[in-house]
Structure 1
């Protein structure tokens, strides 16, 4: 009868330790150090499960995740390229030359984007949309 109680005790200690170290800090260590942002519902849910079973470790998990910033979603980064710099990628008929566009974006952003990927969804534009950005098809 001692072996099952040791197994149960070991499982209980392991469960408490995992809850005390906080779910967000374990699963997303790269998010530590964030100050604010949108809260990740996955981490909230995992910490809430800890609240259902063990109140004190669940509260500690929330506290650790908020204190370390691991509970927040990573912030997105954006980049902008001037429409004038994109002008050489527009063909005479108004369509976009993907190879030229890829070269321009790689030069300006320093990142290689897979514009020749078959899964890429391309939307067709019109001359009016080009005019909104002060671009004209070179005819």
Structure 2
């Protein structure tokens, strides 16, 4: 009589652990912050497995992966811009003029980057990084 309970319990635990590990945010944290791209089928299938077992964990997994951008495949292209060309976008108080930055990036990279997208994750620089470029940190 205890054997069926152990099998059911073991299957349930395995399903929940597979769902926990099925989140793309846990597998590829470096993908967070992507705004758009092609959907990674592996992550989509792993998130969909959660829908098969329980609706709520599957919906949460899809929501987290889409909100963080971890469900999207990396673009495969990298672009580098010389910091000296970005200097006109930085105002004397250390703030960034987004419109000017977007125009510089579009000119240098040949791509339109949506800097006003609400899903964009912005990282602040340290005072040491600003000092290296001759800028005074704003309080």
TM-score (norm 2): 0.45
Q: Report the structure number with the largest CA radius of gyration.
A: 1
TM-score (normalised: structure 1) = 0.45
